[in-house]
């Protein structure tokens, strides 16, 4: 019996089999978790996600655009109805218009800034607030960040500012939800992975090469290692860990070179 047997989770942010949320799903399923899922409200997104998750026979697979409160309300009502509660939530979502990422941060538009912040940072507030009433026994929430939220990574630009906001959002949510409901909130700061999202970052290949040259472990992170870190943060082994940004980056972030 796996260590997540009898536990119910919601995974938000699978686009395809390269998604970090999918790596976390595979790890959780191997440990016996029962999962529900979301996809972007488009036929192609639904088709790709459905193909991956259908074999898991999820009780809930619904469209959710995190910019829409009505999508979030409908999703969590369905999860409550289907499962009666929730033990954990994975938020693995970010977006910025590609043209905004190609510009220096100085040049980002007001509209692009608001859109990127809404999807990449505010969404964690919105979904955590919706999930909390379903987590009556305490619970755990994990989101995914990047080192570009702590230090300037040329090319990461507007998304770096979103990640800084996301990381401090993790801390404030950890306070609010820890005090009120015993819910833990943490982030994984992941090393660079080739995914749909990372394709929008012009300096991405350079980031990956640089990570290999500079990291304590001279290689890039394996997606499976994000999955197993997710297991740890969502499990009772991390029962006293909250408000934490855990770097899973082969030690890249501790080197000052
Ligand atoms: P991905 O493209 O597979 O996942 C991003 C997800 O965000 C997609 O599933 C997409 O549907 C979802 N999304 C975008 N806009 C949305 C909206 N309005 N409503 C709901 N969902 C929306 O790429 P990924 O690399 O797996 O990204 C997952 C998370 O990991 C992101 O927060 C990303 O910033 C972060 N991250 C990625 C890397 C990397 O190198 N790939 C490194 C560190 C952190």
pLDDT (tens digit, 9 = 90+) per residue, 155-205?
999 999 999 999 999 999 999 999 999 999 999 999 999 999 998 888 899
This prediction's pTM: 0.98
The reported pLDDT for the residue numbered 257 is 84
| Confidence class for position 88, pLDDT limits 50, 70, 90 | very high
Which atom of ligand 1 sits closest to the CA of residue 145?
44
pLDDT of 190: 98
Distance 1 CA to ligand 1 centre (A): 31
66, pLDDT greater than 90: yes
Give residue 221's pLDDT band: very low, low, confident or very high (50, 70, 90): very high
Q: What is the pLDDT of residue 158?
A: 97
DSSP codes, 131-148: HGGG-BTBEEEEEEE-GG
pLDDT, position 80: 98
Can you tell me which atom of ligand 1 is nearest the CA of 16?
A: 3
Establish whether residue 183 lines the binding site of ligand 1, counting it when its CB lies within 6 angstroms of any ligand atom: no
Q: Is 151 a residue whose pLDDT tops 90?
A: yes
Residue 78 in contact with ligand 1 by CB distance below 6 A: no
Taking all residues of the chain, what is their mean pLDDT, rounded to a whole number?
Answer: 97
Domain ranges for the chain, please list them.
Answer: 8-251
- What's the pLDDT at 10? 98
DSSP string, 221-245: PPHHHHHHHHHHHHSGGGTT--S-E
Q: Per-residue pLDDT averaged across 236-247, rounded?
A: 98
**Residue minimizing CA distance to atom 19 of ligand 1:** 65
Looking at residue 201, its pLDDT comes to 86
Q: What percent of the chain shows pLDDT beyond 90?
A: 95
- The CATH number that domain 8-251 falls under is 3.40.50.720
**Residues forming the active site:** 146, 156
Tell which atom from ligand 1 comes closest to the C-alpha of 66.
Answer: 19
Q: Does residue 1 surpass a pLDDT of 90?
A: no
Region 42-59: mean pLDDT is 98
Minimum CA distance residue for ligand 1 atom 13: 93
In this structure, the residue with its CA closest to atom 15 of ligand 1 is: 95
- CA dist 6 and 196 (Å) reads 32
Return the closest-CA partner of residue 67 out of 93, 45, 98, 88. 93
Which helix (H) or strand (E) covers residue 154, if one does? none
């Amino acid at each position: 019996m796996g260590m997540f047997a009898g536990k119910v989770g919601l995974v938000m942010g699978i686009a395809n089999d390269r998604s970090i949320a999918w790596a976390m799903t595979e790890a959780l399923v191997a440990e016996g978790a029962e999962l529900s899922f979301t996809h972007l409200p488009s036929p192609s997104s639904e088709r790709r996600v459905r193909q991956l998750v259908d074999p898991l026979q999820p009780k809930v697979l619904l469209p959710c655009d995190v910019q829409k409160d009505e999508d979030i309300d409908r999703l969590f009502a369905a999860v409550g109805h289907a499962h009666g509660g929730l033990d954990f939530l994975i938020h693995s979502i970010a977006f910025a218009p590609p043209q905004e990422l190609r510009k220096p941060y100085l040049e980002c538009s007001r509209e692009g800034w608001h859109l990127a912040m809404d999807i990449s940072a505010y969404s964690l507030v919105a979904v955590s607030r919706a999930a909390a009433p379903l987590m009556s026994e305490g619970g755990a929430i994990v989101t995914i960040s990047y080192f570009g939220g702590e230090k300037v990574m040329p090319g990461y630009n507007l998304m770096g500012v979103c990640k800084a906001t996301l990381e401090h959002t993790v801390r404030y949510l950890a306070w609010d939800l820890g005090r009120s409901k015993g819910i833990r909130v943490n982030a994984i700061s992941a090393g660079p992975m080739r995914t749909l999202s990372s394709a929008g970052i012009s300096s991405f290949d350079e980031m990956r090469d640089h990570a290999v040259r500079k990291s304590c472990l001279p290689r890039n992170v394996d997606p499976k290692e994000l999955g197993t870190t997710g297991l740890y943060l969502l499990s009772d082994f991390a029962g006293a860990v909250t408000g934490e940004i855990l770097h899973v980056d082969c030690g890249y972030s501790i080197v000052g070179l």
